[in-house]
Amino acid sequence: MNHLWKKAGALLLTAGLLTSILAGCGNNNNGSSEASKETESKANSSASTSSGAEAGNENFNETGFPIVNEKVTLSFVYVKSANMRDLNENAMFQKLEETTNVHIDWQYAGDADWPEQKSLLLASGDLPDVFFGSNTLKDMDIMTNLDYFVPLEDYIDKYCTNLQAAYEAEPIMRKMITSPDGHIYTLSRKLPLRPKGCDVPFINQKWLDNLGLEMPTTVDEWYNVLKAFKEQDANGNGDPNDEVPLTGCGMFDWIRYTNAWGITDSLEENLLALDQKTKKPVFIPADERYKECIEFFHKLYSEGIMDQEFFTQDGSMADAKLKNEEVSRVGTGIAWEVKSHTNPHSDEYVVMPPLAGPNGDRYIRGNDATIIYGRNEFTVTTACEYPEVAMRWADAYADDDISVQSYWGPYGEVLDKADDGTITFLDPPEGKNGDGWYWEVTCRDHGPKYISPETEAKIVLPEGSGDGAKLECDEIIKDFVAEPYPLVNYTEEQMDEISKLTVDIYKYVEESWANWIVNGGIENDWDGYIAQLNQMGLERLMEIYQEALDSYNSAS
Amino acid sequence: MRKCMAAKIVGQKLSAKDKFRKNCKGIRRNWQLYLLLVPAVVLLFCFTYIPMYGIQIAFKDFVPKLGIEGSKWVGFEHFQTFFNSFQVKSLFTNTITLSLYSLIAGFPFPIILALMMNQIRVKRFKQTLQVVTYLPHFISTVVMVGIMLIVLSPSSGLFGNIARMFGVIDPPNLMGQAGAFQSIYVWSDVWQHAGWDSIIYIAALAAVDPSLYEAATVDGAGKWQKIKYIDIPFLLPTAVILLIMRAGNIMNVGFEKVYLMQNPLNTMVSEIIATYVYKIGIISNQYSLSAAVGLFNNVINFILLLLVNQVSKKMGDTSLF
Amino acid sequence: MAKLKSIRRQVTGKDLAFNIVLYAICIIILLIVVYPLYFIVIASFSNPTEVANGKVWLWPSQFTVDGYKEILRHAEIWVGYRNTIFYTVVGTVIGLAVNIPAAYALSRHDLVGRKIITFFFIFTMFFNGGLIPTYFTIRDFGLYNSFWVMVLPFSVVVYHIIIARTFFDSSLPQGLLDAAQIDGCSNLRFFFQIALPLSKAVLAVIALYTAVAQWNAYFNALVYIKDDGLKPLQLIIRNILITKQAIAGTGDGLAAQEARRLSELMKYAVIIVTTVPIMCVYPFVQKYFSKGVMIGAIKG
């Protein structure tokens, strides 16, 4: 069946192409692709229901289960990592299929080459019914191809009680997906038991003790400590030169250190911060505070405190320094979670409370919108014959039990749910650690999941799990989390303009950044640098960010 | 005068006619040769020429939903955008210098290698050398760059260790020096591909008639003379053709390796057209702009190829067409 | 007589010096090339942290075969191997069948329209419709997600045609063709019975080029192959490798850490696993490069 419609579509297309070539590339040839689209969806409908053409409303139940009386198949594109098992083998998904009577035809893409495949998929219009998971489509893919996607708000209001409840409890979940044109094209999610802060600063307590130093509280004290690390034999192996007080790689590794200077990045890799006082967007690399911060780091670099290979090594080399077997070599750093990051020397490192900068600012990066919540989890395309079925399926997925099981693993296999609702964890199979196991048996972060606070409170994390360790670190830093530039919604035009402007700007910024830290001279170059950035369109870029922020704030 | 001209025109006409007749005869006589061409021509037509309507993407504002035909025509707008870009000047300089450097350094090595191997009489050694020099070709670019980073690391790499052995206290961080980028790129490439590229020359040398060597020995020629007067002339046509093809590739520098070798300390020399196209095309979805840059690039390449081909034709008799 | 002898000695003396320099250079080249190869081998058996810290340079450090275990753990690898071998064998045969005849035809100076046809070929080296229209075309021909898409549509390689053409041009003496034509030999017969047997060296080169390209190809598979059962080895390996990096990037505690370690570990083992089979092809090709393949035929 599938082949037939493909062929029919193909024939029509060829005909269309040939005429267009013959006609000297006529400029409007929409007809043929529309026609093939129609053939496609028609054929799809007869393929996916056993009863034939008119599945329509009799088959669909607006409430209760099953969602459809006769089985319907929906195709989901999902970017799956090679380790993940086929989700159709997952007991929870099997059960979900039984309840809903909706079969999911998972079309997995590998994450290695998804960007290329995605371009092709969108450009060719061979769409699945649903794009599942936030790692499939980015904001830009949706916003620049709006015609491909079905507005979902009516379905949500009509059929999706779980989603409605979630949005009621967490208004941000609706706000972050409401596009400037008022429609909702994709669904959001909320993950359970997540931290508030992103980066945890850490320092080697053993080195501090070895040298008789106090835990630093300001950047100046920090500098003195690092200098001592550099000059003395802090790790006590007899070699005063093998200590690397501070390492990392690349600008986005470094930007986390700007916190103390009062500008905290918004976690979106767009170098954007929200000024904590004026609540205006700040382009970090064009701010005076950034300049001060660079001067400080130039000092670190020129005195050999900052790793001389900070700009040239890759992540694995930076990691390897931290994980050096015989003796610890790194003094300080920033990590998602300290214990596993500093293994095998975890016992030496402790969380360092956020440092105060020159103006007394003590901040930590964090952004609920990306750490706890997320969007683009479930996007229905115009190729989908039954958006209502897809949406009811999504709503079924947003149920507490399903969401928990899709995050860690099915009840009975990974989790155990007691009669009082307490959720505990079963032991992982021989030779596996829990964290890795969850990645294998579930789709982890993905899908429009929502877990209510009541259920969340009943989850008992196992001893030593990654999630638990992160929450422990978070206790120390969570009160310092700065308000980020929120996860706003851009219009298609804004998106387009941003991507055009930033290619040149980012490159110039990164180049100058490395150059100043290594060679210094920011004092002299600064004005010219700002002028150049403005010439590249920085002012316009900031206007766009301000507009987007305004419309985000004014939205209810 | 007029008569003369008329005669000339008639003459031309006649010769054109003759030519036509001669051609027809030639085609008829060699029809089997056309048969040999059929598979390649048909495949190229179907899978390369038919999709060529896609070139118009460069002149349109491609929107996936509208399709190639349906997208709005914008003429040379994308080309203008590219030329107005802040990087355009450095992109060109970087691309061309890197490419020329690669060409000058990389072109002679395979030939020299092939000539040397051709001189080796110990069969085992010769075979080993061939296999070993050919192997690096199979190292993927990612791993290649990874090895370079590890080996060149001033603190822990082989390079750093050797430098310290020779008493350099603070070995430079080569990967962080913009000035070293091109040399690292080019010479690691020579290392990786010279053996592989020499295969074609080795094969060509296999076709040399051994009696030529015998005659030369009788004439008292030494090894050096034999290389100079037999081997090199024999390799020349192949070398010239490959050189022409490389000239047509001046604007194309392998994207992946440069991209992986980039770091903020060297982007001023390492940002080339290919990496730029990647950044605007795949990372920020500007299909049309990247198509326009790609097209422009290839037009230049094509013109270069034609030029070099013409020059080579004038100078010797080797040419592509 | 004495004079002649002294000339001889002079020549051999020179040749001896020549040989010493030659072998010395070759040994240096050998060492320069061998070391990084050796490095890959020992790195594939070492703890990746040790590798990144520059501690692996003569022997494997903290010997381990986890990298290999991790790769071979994935059952898809074997399907990938099978597919890649099929693609390589069939692709090489098709490549030779398509490119070599075309190259021969273009090498003939008496081919009417030679220039135009050459131009037709070379033009495609510079201009093509781009990915999207090519994808449509492949789909319309019904080749999408089929075995043939890997071996047929892109089997014409102009570069190979040009190389083979140059070879035919420079190493098939014109006299041979003239003589054959006087004997009433047709073009096809000449090509199959005389030109091809005399050109084993270039056939070997083109076969090697095609085979290696097929072996390493993943991009076409990425775009045109959907079924896991049709994916070639390189694509499968890429996914395994990059997945590890993706998980590693999530910062998700121990899982990420383990993934990062494995991805670094597999990096080198992957090279060994994927290249050893194709490496073994070369010695078979090599024997066609020995001298004097041509000569007997021409004289006989």
Does residue A53 carry a pLDDT above 50? no
State residue B282's pLDDT score. 65
Distance CA A137, CA A131 (A): 7
State residue B5's pLDDT score. 47
Residue B178 sits in the same domain as residue B59 = no
* Residues with pLDDT less than 70, chain B: 1-14, 282-285
Least CA distance to C201: which residue of chain B? B203
B-facing residues of A in 135-164 (CB < 8 A) are 140-141, 144-145, 147-148
Residue B53 sits in the same domain as residue B154 = no
State residue A295's pLDDT score. 96
Give chains near C: 3+ CB pairs under 8 A.
A, B
Residue B27 sits in the same domain as residue B134 = no
Q: Would the CB atoms of B160 and C54 count as touching at under 8 Å?
A: yes
Section A121-132 average pLDDT: 90
Q: Would the CB atoms of B26 and C57 count as touching at under 8 Å?
A: no
pLDDT (tens digit per residue) in B75-99: 999 899 888 888 899 999 999 999 9
State residue A337's pLDDT score. 86
B-facing residues of C in 88-127 (CB < 8 A) are 97-99, 101-102, 104-106, 108, 110-115, 117-127
Least CA distance to A147: which residue of chain B? B65
Least CA distance to B64: which residue of chain A? A123
Q: Would the CB atoms of A503 and B149 count as touching at under 8 Å?
A: no
Which of B72, B89, B118 corresponds to the end of one domain?
B72
B320 is a domain residue: no
Residue B237 sits in the same domain as residue B100 = yes
Residue B33 sits in the same domain as residue B117 = no
- Minimum-distance CB partner of A311 among B150, B263, B268: B263
Distance CA A82, CA A330 (A): 33
B116 is a domain residue: yes
Residue B81 sits in the same domain as residue B66 = no
Give the mean pLDDT per block of 10 residues along chain C (300 residues): 55 79 92 89 88 83 86 86 94 96 93 91 90 89 93 94 90 86 90 89 91 89 87 85 61 64 81 85 80 44
Size of interface A-B (CB pairs under 8 A): 116
A35 touches B at CB < 8 Å = no
Tell me the three state secondary structure of residue C234.
helix
State residue C7's pLDDT score. 55
Give chains near A: 3+ CB pairs under 8 A.
B, C
State residue C238's pLDDT score. 81
Residue B65 sits in the same domain as residue B180 = no
C15 touches A at CB < 8 Å = no
State residue A302's pLDDT score. 94
- pTM for this prediction: 0.84
Give C-chain residues touching B134 at CB under 8 angstroms. 282
B321 is a domain residue: no
B41 is a domain residue: yes
pLDDT (tens digit per residue) in B293-310: 889 988 999 999 999 998
Residue B278 sits in the same domain as residue B216 = yes
State residue B291's pLDDT score. 87
Test the A interface: residue of C73, C222, C228 with most A CBs within 10 Å: C222
State residue C10's pLDDT score. 58
Residue B278 sits in the same domain as residue B238 = yes
Q: Where do the H-state alpha helices sit in B153-254?
A: 158-165, 178-206, 210-218, 223-226, 232-247
- Minimum-distance CB partner of A113 among C142, C222, C259: C222
B255 is a domain residue: yes
- Topology at the third CATH level for domain C67-299: MetI-like fold (1.10.3720)
C275: CB partners within 8 A, 6+ apart: B135, B138
Give B-chain residues touching A140 at CB under 8 angstroms. 284-285
Secondary element (H or E) of residue A350: strand A349-351
Contact, A204 vs A349, CB < 8 A? yes
Amino acid symbol at C156: V
ipTM (interface predicted TM): 0.86
Tell me the three state secondary structure of residue A416.
strand
Chain mean pLDDT for chain A: 86
Q: What is the CATH number of the domain that holds B131?
A: 1.10.3720.10
State residue A460's pLDDT score. 92
pLDDT (tens digit per residue) in A383-442: 999 999 999 999 999 999 999 999 999 999 999 999 999 999 998 888 777 777 888 889
Distance CA B296, CA A275 (A): 43
pLDDT (tens digit per residue) in A143-190: 888 889 999 999 999 999 999 999 999 999 999 999 988 999 999 999
State residue B284's pLDDT score. 66
Section A296-322 average pLDDT: 90
Least CA distance to B169: which residue of chain A? A241
Residue B6 sits in the same domain as residue B150 = no
| Contacts by residues A390-394 (CB-CB < 8 Å, ≥ 24 positions apart) | A390/A74, A390/A129, A390/A130, A391/A152, A391/A155, A391/A156, A391/A159, A391/A160, A392/A67, A392/A100, A392/A159, A392/A160, A393/A67, A393/A74, A393/A100, A393/A102, A393/A104, A394/A160, A394/A163, A394/A187, A394/A448
Least CA distance to B172: which residue of chain A? A308
% chain A with pLDDT above 70: 90
State residue C4's pLDDT score. 53
Give C-chain residues touching A435 at CB under 8 angstroms. 252-256
How many domains, in total, are found in chain B?
2
Residue B222 sits in the same domain as residue B239 = yes
Distance CA B288, CA C212 (A): 33
State residue C252's pLDDT score. 53
A30 touches B at CB < 8 Å = yes
Domain ranges of chain C: 9-64, 67-299
Residue B148 sits in the same domain as residue B246 = yes
Can you give the residue range of the structural domain that contains B35?
2-72
State residue C69's pLDDT score. 87
- Minimum-distance CB partner of A113 among C238, C253, C255: C238
Of residues A343 and A509, the one with the higher pLDDT is: A509
C276 touches B at CB < 8 Å = no
Size of interface A-C (CB pairs under 8 A): 117
DSSP-assigned beta bridge partners for residue B61: B72
